[in-house]
Amino acid sequence: MTHFAAVVLFAFFASIVFGITQRETPRRMIRYGIYCFVLFVASAIVLSWVMFLIAR
């Protein structure tokens, strides 16, 4: 399993739990879950590039 695949799986399952537990209506749960998923994956990509550039 690649690091990116692990990040996507982690973000997927954690976002489901965050969505259900942090919001009250199903519509808001879905929206918050998608929001968390995008933030997880996007922040992982950005931080990866930052670390790559620092390490050069």
In the complex, which residues of this chain contact other proteins (CB under 8 A)?
1, 3, 6, 9-10, 13-14, 16-18, 20-21, 24
Contact 16, 32 (CB under 8 A): no
CB of 6 to other proteins, least distance (A): 5
CB of 22 to other proteins, least distance (A): 9
Task: Kindly tell me which of 3 and 56 has the beta carbon lying closer to other proteins.
Answer: 3
- Please give the C-alpha separations between residue 15 and each of 5, 7, 32, 50, 55, in angstroms, as whole numbers: 15, 12, 8, 24, 30
Closest CA to 22 of 9, 40, 12, 35: 35
CB of 31 to other proteins, least distance (A): 15
